[in-house]
Amino acid sequence: MSTSAPHVRRGDSVLPAWVKEGGRAVLAPVVRLAIALRLTPNTITVIGLGITILASTLVALDWLLLGAAILTAGSLLDAVDGALARAQGSGTAFGGFLDSTLDRAGEAILFIGVGTWLLRTQPDPTLAVLGLMVALSGSFLVSYTHARAQGIGLAASVGLAPRTERLVLMIAGVALAGIGITVGLIAVIGALAILTVVTVVQRIRHVWHLSAATIPDTKEI
């Protein structure tokens, strides 16, 4: 018998449910196009990483609005691989592994791009870069807690800032900086630093409660 929870509560994330539902509706025609072009989920995953690299390079070079626009398109494409795998019934263990691995790589590359921009353009980027380092470390720990929970047969998808929320916030921050509101990007970085740490704590607490609930009762009857 599995020790994972039968239902995972996700209502505590920073994005409302209607935003996610709207995103899924947008993805439907893209998935149909990918099927028509005979693209595989793994191909979509690799293309998504390439788009992230391009967008992050543009951000580092001070093309912030263009970078934010390409990141938005890339984030939609990033969600296509999973939807395509479900539609084709072609999901594989390697596909899931590749998707998770390249997601982490893409997030790191984006943070490096933003950090490079801060170092190149800001008179004193120290606090912002430190916040970015905390946010990146927290992001990786959010993903790690999820993976480790799965490794012991539990679900840990709860929390304020899973990957989609982090990506939306970062794109919004980059776009704000692109129209001259640099403090908006810095505020987003600070918010991500806090939210990722809180999410790690939430997931640790969640797994703790789940694991305690699955300990068999050894008392004699």
Nearest to 106 by CA among 152, 140, 150: 140
217 is annotated as an active-site residue = no
Selecting among 99, 103, 124, 217, the annotated active-site residue is 103
- HEC states along the chain? CCCCCCCCCCCCCCCCHHHHHHHHHHHHHHHHHHHHCCCCHHHHHHHHHHHHHHHHHHHHCCCHHHHHHHHHHHHHHHHHHHHHHHHHCCCCHHHHHHHHHHHHHHHHHHHHHHHHHHHHHCCCCHHHHHHHHHHHHHHHHHHHHHHHHHHCCCCCCCCCCCHHHHHHHHHHHHHHHHCCCHHHHHHHHHHHHHHHHHHHHHHHHHHHHHHHHCCCCCCCC
Q: Which residues are catalytic?
A: 103
